[in-house]
């Protein structure tokens, strides 16, 4: 089950909210959320719910033991290392086991058969959340959670369990046991959820359809890439560039909105990254919770930028290689991470002063870097990546355009334009301006209030219509 599905929107979520608000106290409300979260996760993977519960129990139990050794740093650190190692080992087996064995087989011929290990959905997200809990308890930033049920709720909360954001325990620990919900919370939460739903079902899904139509054949065969026209490849990558942002950010919007409806405030995960003027700024705006995780739990502990330029570059290399690998068990993701490492290292060492002085050039530079970076993300086969890059400049002997591409572009030009606008803060700024005016005029307040009611309802209707009329609803997070 995914957020952008009709059963979730019109059955699962309403039943969850109904049961939640009928529950009398916080203990009962948490029980409701835990039961619904486990049902949600087990809906598609009933077996792997045992893995999620098992990992949460191991971390809960070992962290309680660790907290008893505050006056024995060596023992506490040993327990922390054991706990984190167990988490990473399980993540490694399920997410990278087949990838590792296939590479070993390539060089050694062993094993003869590489087992296909199914990837539990969301394992990267909840593994990282468990690690933040254990490390923050070790650092005395939060007390250990005495209730396993509460910790399991934190890990398995269906809002963010399978698609993020990566929520740190210390950021919501108090809200897990003591929270109040106002009408404003419910209204703004619903608005945020519906906005994300529309972004996913209308914009992201449409852009995904355009991208796949222009970049692969109807059968999903990537071998036709060499014959794709120049225009087809450029517009296809553009559509994927919009899709990847609107899809990722839409799920974060929906998660944040659902959390807000029950009084939990999840952190922002995207802040219009395509308006950035450097790669470094882009990554401060893109998947913010992942970037801050690697910064606070890997980059800074490795020494950050405090040990000279050479060590800084090495630390950045490690962080970005692992950032790429986190996104998927394939060499193209490692290459994608290292691609951004090169530009971030150059900015830190050389380019930053120049980019700060030339904002227009900097923005164009950023868009070009990110645009070509998404080609590495889209195609897992390195030969396909090379074929696309050559084809974009007509080096495959391919034509500049063809009838199919022109027809597609003409059919979707309005949608692509609207989608590009959705990647900017323009709509939000208009909304903020209307809100500002509403606070200063009774008439404007009346108009704004109607606007706040009508627009979410309209977006919900349009989203439902899009989902009913279109079976194309890809879920990008299966890798994570």
Please give the positions annotated as active site.
Answer: 327
Rounded-to-integer distance, Cα 293 and Cα 179, Å? 25
Token duo for residue 92: 């490694």
State whether residue 353 is helix, strand or coil. Answer: helix
| Range 438-453 burial, b when 16+ CB lie within 10 A, else e | beeeeeeeeebeeebe
Q: How far apart are CA 147 and CA 60, in angstroms?
A: 9
Hey, what's the torsion of the CAs at 305, 309, 314, 316, to 10 degrees?
50
Q: Are 36 and 160 in contact (CB under 8 A)?
A: no
The CA distance from 477 to 326, in Å, is 12
Cβ(2)–Cβ(44) under 8 Å? no
Q: Which of 335, 457, 326, 440 is nearest to 386 (CA)?
A: 335
Give the separation between CA 389 and CA 396, rounded to whole angstroms.
9
Helix axes 442-469, 183-198, angle to 10 degrees: 40
For the record, the structure tokens of 210 come out as 């355009």
């Amino acid at each position: 089950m995914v957020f952008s599905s009709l059963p979730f929107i019109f059955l699962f979520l309403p039943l969850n909210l109904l049961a939640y608000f009928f529950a009398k106290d916080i203990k009962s409300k948490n029980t409701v959320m835990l039961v619904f979260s486990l049902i949600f996760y087990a809906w598609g993977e009933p077996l792997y719910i045992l893995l999620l519960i098992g990992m949460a129990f191991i971390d809960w139990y070992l962290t309680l033991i660790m907290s008893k050794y505050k006056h024995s740093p060596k023992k506490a650190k040993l327990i922390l290392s054991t706990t984190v190692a167990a988490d990473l080992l399980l993540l490694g087996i399920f997410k990278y086991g087949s990838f590792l064995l296939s590479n070993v087989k390539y060089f050694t011929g062993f094993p003869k058969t590489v087992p296909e290990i199914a990837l539990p959905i969301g394992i990267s997200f909840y593994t990282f959340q468990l690690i933040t809990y254990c490390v923050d308890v070790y650092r005395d930033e939060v007390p250990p959670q005495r209730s396993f049920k509460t910790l399991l709720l934190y890990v398995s909360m269906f809002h963010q369990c399978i698609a993020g954001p990566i929520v740190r325990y210390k950021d919501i620990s108090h809200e897990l046991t003591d929270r109040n919900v106002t009408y404003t919370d419910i209204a703004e939460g619903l608005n945020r959820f519906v906005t994300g739903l529309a972004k996913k079902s209308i914009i992201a899904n449409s852009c995904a359809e355009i991208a796949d139509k222009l970049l692969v054949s109807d059968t999903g065969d990537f071998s036709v890439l060499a014959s794709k026209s120049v225009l087809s490849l450029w517009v296809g990558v553009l559509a994927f560039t919009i899709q990847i942002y609107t899809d990722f950010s839409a799920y974060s919007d929906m998660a944040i909105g659902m959390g807000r409806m029950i009084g939990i405030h999840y952190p922002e995960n995207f802040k219009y990254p395509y308006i950035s003027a450097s790669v470094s700024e882009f990554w401060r705006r893109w998947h913010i919770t992942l970037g801050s995780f690697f910064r606070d739990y890997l980059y800074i502990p490795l020494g950050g930028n405090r040990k000279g330029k050479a060590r800084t570059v090495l630390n950045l290399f490690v962080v970005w290689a692992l950032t790429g690998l986190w996104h998927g068990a394939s060499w193209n993701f490692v290459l994608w991470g290292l691609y951004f490492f090169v530009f971030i290292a150059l900015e830190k060492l050389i380019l930053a002063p120049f980019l700060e002085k030339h904002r227009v050039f900097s923005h164009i530079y950023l868009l070009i870097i990110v645009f070509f970076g998404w080609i590495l993300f889209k195609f897992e086969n390195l030969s396909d990546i090379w074929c696309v890059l050559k084809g974009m400049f007509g080096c495959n002997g391919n034509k500049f355009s063809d009838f199919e591409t022109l027809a597609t572009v003409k059919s979707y030009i309005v949608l692509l334009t609207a989608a590009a606008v959705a990647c900017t803060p323009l709509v939000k700024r208009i909304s903020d301006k209307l809100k500002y005016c509403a606070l200063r005029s009774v008439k404007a307040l009346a108009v704004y209030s109607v606007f706040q009611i009508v627009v979410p309802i309209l977006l919900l209707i349009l989203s439902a219509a899009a989902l009913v009329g279109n079976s194309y609803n890809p879920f990008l997070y299966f890798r994570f």
